[in-house]
Structures are given as C-alpha cells and as structure tokens.
Amino acid sequence: MKSKTIIFIIALLSVFSLAQSQDDQFNSLITALQGEIKTVNSAKLVYEQEINIEQPGVIDFVLTTIDQKGNQVKYNNKLNFADLDPIMVREVTEKEKIFVQLKVENDQKLISCTKDGEFDGYENIVKIYAENIDNARAIKEKVLAVIPVAKEIMKNRFNLETYDEQLTWLVDNIGDVTVSDKTHQQILQVDKTTKGAVNLEVVETTSKLTKSTRYQFNLADINPNSLNFKISGAYFSVEFETNRKQKLIKTYIDGEQGNYNYDLKILAYSVENARDLKYILDKIIPLAEQEVSNALPQINSVQDATSLLSTEVKEVIINDVTNTQKINNDCKAKLDVVVDDMKKKTESSFEFNLSDINEHSLDYKILGKKFQIVFQTKGGYKLIKAYKDQEQQNFDDDGSILCDDGENARLIMHALKKGIPLCEAAIVRLVPEDNLAAKVSWLIEHTVEVTFEAKTINQKLERIESADHNKLRLTITEITEKKSVEYIYEFNLSDLNPNSVEYDIKGKELSIVLNTNYNAKVIKTYEDGELQNYTNKINIYANDIDLARNLILGLKESIEENSK
C-alpha cells in the first residue's frame, strides 16, 4: 500500500513538473515575441501594440490606433495560441502596411474583442503590424514557435481521468452568464440515482420578468460529433445534439412540462470557459456511456426481463393528463392503459406475446410531450389483440408503451431487447414431436369451435379414411343470428405447400391460411351440401395466438413429414 502511495505521488509530481515546464516555456516564448512587437507608423495611423499574458496559452493582444489629430482607439483581443492554425500564420502586405495574420482553425470566432473597454464581438483573425518584412518574418517565426507549446498546455491542462472527476468539474464550472440587463443563472445538478443523468436548471432574469427552464438529459445520449461553439451576439455557448437527433431531452418551463428536444446549448462566461466545457463534455461522453451500460440490470432469464418490464411500465403524468399503465409479469403480455384527461377516461387493453415482437423494430417515438417506445410484430402479422373500453377492436401489427422520460425508456427498451429472444426460446410447444399420426391427431383435436363477436365458427377436422393420414376433411359451419352456412373441404396434405402456412388475420378474426402447391385448384369444396368449384386454399380458425402458432407448427410439420 505504501509503495502505491509513493508511485501516485511521483506521478502527480511528474504531471505538475511537466505543466510547470510548459508554462515556463510559454512565458519564455511570449517574452521573445514581445521583443519583436513594435510601434508601427502608417500613412494615417500609428499602431501601438503590446502583448500581455492572461494565463498559460492565452494572451491579450492590445492594439491602440492613433490618428493624425491624436484621437485614440484601444482594441483588446484575447486569444489562445492553441486555437491558431499554423498554416494560416502568414505575412500580408496591404498598401503601405505589412502585418502578420493569425487565424483561428476552421474559421471559428474564438477571439474575444473589446473596443475602448466595450465588448465588440468575437473574431477569427488578429493582425500584428510589423515595421518591415524582416520584422514580420521574425514575428511569424516566434508565433509559430508558441503554437505547439500552447496546444500541449491545453492537452495537459486537465488531470481529470475518471467519470466522477469530470462530472464534478462540469458542476463546478457551468455558471452564471450576464449579458446587458439579462442574467442567466445556470446550475447543473447530478441525478444521484441514475448514472449519466443530469438536470440543467436555467433561470433567465431581466428587469421585467423571470423565466425558469429545466433540461433533463443523460450525458451518454449526447452525440460527441455534434459538440460545437455557438455565437449569437454577445453570447458564447457550447451546443450539442443527442444521438440520431432523438428528442431525449425532457424540458420543464416554469414548472410545467414542455416538449422534448434533441438539442441544447450551455452558455459560457468566456471563450476559455466554453473551450473547457467542450473539452470535458467530449471526454465524459464515452465514460458516461460505459457507466450507463454497467448500471443496466442483469437479465439472464425470462423472469428477469418480464419482472423489469412490469416494474418500469407505469403511470405517466403529462401536465393534466394521467396515463395509468400496467403490464403483467409474463411473456404472454397484457398491457392495460387508462387515459384520464380530467374530462373523460378511456380504457384500452392489448394482448400479445413478447416473442412475436420484432426486436429490430423497437424504437423511440417522441412527439411533443409524449415519449413512447414503438414496436411492430414479426413479419407484419397482426398478432396484437386490442380492446377499447372492454370491446374487442381489430387485431393490430404495431404497439406502443408510454414512457415517463428517457431513463424510464432506456430500462423498458433494455427489458424488451433482452426479453424478446428469451421469450422466443421459452415458447411452449403443444404439438407432439412423435410421428405423423400423432401430429394429425393433435390437429384434429385442436381444430375446434371459435367465436368472433356475433359469429360462431364450428370446425371439424377428420381423416377421410381412418388409416390414411394424408386425406383429410375440414367441415366449417359459420353461424350468425340470421343464417348458418356449412362448408366442406376435402384435400390431401401432400397437395399443400408448407411454406404457405401462415397467419391470416382480418379485422377481429384470427385464422391460418393454407395454399396448395403452385396454387393448383385441387381442393374439393361443398357449400350446404352442394358441390362447388375446386379451390386452392382453406382457412382454419383459432381463438388465440398461442393456439394459432401451434396449429401453424403442426400443419407445417405434418405436410413436410407426409411428403417424405
């Protein structure tokens, strides 16, 4: 333990020594540059110039112009040599004047300017005037020597390696900004219950009003490639967007929930503050991603997934609207939703199996104040049974779950992505794995009467000859209040295409369709005892998706086994 402490102290001293050495080198190079800075006369103006060190890497270039009447204008230009593009440091002649042009990389306006003590905006170029070409070349040489040292100073400026260290720095260095008569109080608060989650509280105050805005987001959701400086008038800020421009930033305006956003800007009180914010944000994003990933609950079983899902699917209140949601702890899910807008209540219910959800369709859908996870069924089959105010609606192929915020959505998404394949592996097979005879007998036993609202469908599947598992007869009687119609289909399993066996869901009716090979019309058909035209397909009806799933399995395997 003692040896580790000594190693740490040595490393710390080494870092300090390096930083001090770079600072000393910078000061020395600036002193040499100051020796080349002269007072320069032009035809109409006198240029008095000086360079003052603000902090390691940063200078204040002071230019005072004096006209022929003695009128003076003083310009202050604060710049960081680390921002300069060495390729763009060059001598430029302009009529009787010669100067060295210093230009910021990528034309960013990172030079803070004042004129006679008043803020004068941000620029990307500074001109240092020279007496002659030799003086200009000397200034250029000295400037080029400073730039790499300043870049190293910036690179080694922070000794913040851990997520917690960088997060603490952000909390301490996001602060108040005042421009003219408007003050922006900015407070970054850490959500200690959720990794990566923060709240940015911004209170704008003028002599006439106060406006409070709270932004709730996760550092792991920031797109690092979107980090940028933003200049608007006297304001200098760091702006960023979320990954894929998803509206993951929850907002509250004066305490009331506003729309979700995908972008945000943090005001800086100086160019250096903005540069530091951008640097630390860029460093903390991958660390936040790892923190969030490590904090996700372990899911190793169906129970783990469905338990997390049932816990996280919960009530969501959006201002005056209360959305009560409950989902059971099972792969065979039942999602109950009650929407109460203080004027009326609407009850909805959705029944589906998690194994039927296409995990690649899972996505966020964020509109206004609503944050949803949306999904579709595999193959686009309408496998979601829907009810509204306890009345069955049409089957559907897509669904959604309302989320309280991005963190709630992250956990629900995690449960679904892990749960879908686990539920798929846990599907209970009802069809016997024995021989063709056993499978056909199971199909006969489970082709039964079903009811769809005002219609009853009586079904009977049987062997035409007791010992022949290939030749089958399907009798369907459709019964409504007004009439009853009987259909009889006689067919061979060998004539059916196993790849055609699939769900056929229309409105509120659930069935399985079977087509013949090459759609040949070889199925003998009767309607109320009278012979009809041969057909190429038949439907078998089911009361629920689980039975339908097994009927499809049993039919496919029976057709394939019969053809062997």
What's this model's pTM, rounded to 2 decimal places?
0.86
What single string gives the DSSP state of each residue in 60-101? Answer: EEEEEEE-TT--EEEEEEEEEGGGB-GGG-EEEEETTEEEEE
The Cα 317–Cα 305 span in angstroms is: 25
Picking from 113, 141, 156, the residue at the C-terminal end of a domain is 156
Buried b (16+ CB within 10 A) or exposed e, 431-459: beeeebeebbebbeebbeebebeeeebbb
- Cα–chain center distance at 468: 58
Coil, helix or strand at residue 198 = strand
Which helix or strand (DSSP H or E) is residue 291 part of? Answer: helix 271-295
- The tokens describing 33, both together, are 């540059």
At residue 233, the pLDDT reads 85
* Cα 7 from Cα 430, distance rounded (Å): 66
426: tokens are 């846990």
CA 431, CA 445: separation in Å to the nearest integer? 11
| Secondary structure (DSSP) of 348-406 | EEEEEEGGGB-GGG-EEEEETTEEEEEEEBGGG---BEEEETTEE---BSEEEEEESSH
Q: Which residue has the tokens 């004096």?
A: 66
| In a shared domain, residues 466 and 367 | no
How far is residue 373's CA from residue 139's CA, in Å, rounded to a whole number?
A: 60
CB 291 within 8 A of CB 77: no
Asked whether residue 147 falls in the same domain as residue 169, the answer is no
Q: Is residue 310 part of a domain?
A: yes
Domain termination site, one of 360, 393, 426: 426
Q: How far apart are CA 140 and CA 35, in angstroms?
A: 13
In a domain, 6, yes or no: no
Q: Which of 518, 456, 516 is nearest to 491 (CA)?
A: 516
CA dist 79 and 309 (Å) reads 53
- Indicate if 287 and 315 belong to the same structural domain: no
**pLDDT for the residue 180:** 85
Q: Are residues 275 and 169 in the same domain?
A: yes
- The H or E element that residue 176 is part of is none
Q: Is residue 1 part of a domain?
A: no
91 phi-psi bin (left φ>0, alpha ψ -120 to 50, beta other): beta
Structural domain contains residue 431: no
Q: Is the same domain home to 308 and 239?
A: no
- Lookup: tokens for 262: 């995908």
Quote the CA–CA distance of 240 and 263 in Å, as a whole number.
Answer: 6
Say which residues have a Cβ less than 8 Å from residue 181's Cβ, sequence separation at least 6.
206, 207
pLDDT at residue 9, rounded to an integer: 46
Whether the Cβ atoms of residue 276 and residue 229 lie closer than 8 Å to each other? no
Contact 311, 329 (CB under 8 A): no
* 8 A C-beta contact, residue 323 and residue 335: no
Residues 215 and 325 in one domain: no
pLDDT at residue 190, rounded to an integer: 97
CA gap 90, 325 in Å, rounded: 66
Residue whose entry in the numeric block shows the structure tokens 């959500």 = 191
Number of H helices, E strands in the chain: 8, 36
Q: Are residues 263 and 282 in the same domain?
A: yes
Cα separation of 478 and 256, whole Å?
A: 55
Domain limits for position 224 = 163-295
pLDDT in single tens digits along all 564 residues of the chain: 455 444 444 444 444 455 568 899 999 999 999 999 999 999 999 999 999 999 999 999 999 999 999 999 999 999 999 999 999 999 999 999 999 999 999 899 999 999 999 999 999 999 999 999 999 999 999 999 999 999 999 888 888 999 999 999 999 999 999 988 899 999 999 999 999 999 999 999 998 899 999 999 999 999 999 999 999 888 999 999 999 999 999 999 999 999 999 999 999 999 999 999 999 999 999 999 999 999 999 999 999 999 999 999 999 999 999 999 999 999 999 999 999 998 899 999 999 999 999 999 999 999 999 999 999 999 999 999 999 999 999 999 999 999 999 999 999 999 999 999 999 999 999 999 989 999 999 999 999 999 998 899 999 999 999 999 999 999 999 999 999 999 999 999 999 999 999 999 999 999 999 999 999 999 999 999 999 999 999 999 999 999 999 999 999 999 999 987
**Residue 538: CATH number of its domain:** 2.30.29
Do 364 and 421 share a domain, yes or no?
A: yes
Rounded CA separation 355/105 (Å): 53
From 280, 295, 310, the end of a domain falls on 295
Q: Which residues pair with 194 in a beta bridge?
A: none
The reply to whether 408 and 461 lie within a common domain is: no
Confirm whether 503 is domain-assigned: yes
Q: Are residues 341 and 370 in the same domain?
A: yes
Instruction: State the CB neighbour count (10 A cutoff) for residue 462.
Output: 12
In this structure, the answer to whether residues 369 and 458 fall within a common structural domain is no
Answer whether residue 536 is part of any domain: yes
Q: Are residues 484 and 375 in the same domain?
A: no
Token pair belonging to 371: 């944050």
Number of domains in the chain: 4
In a domain, 353, yes or no: yes
In a domain, 134, yes or no: yes
Structure tokens belonging to residue 533: 């035209």
Q: Is 106 left (phi over 0), alpha (psi -120 to 50) or beta?
A: left
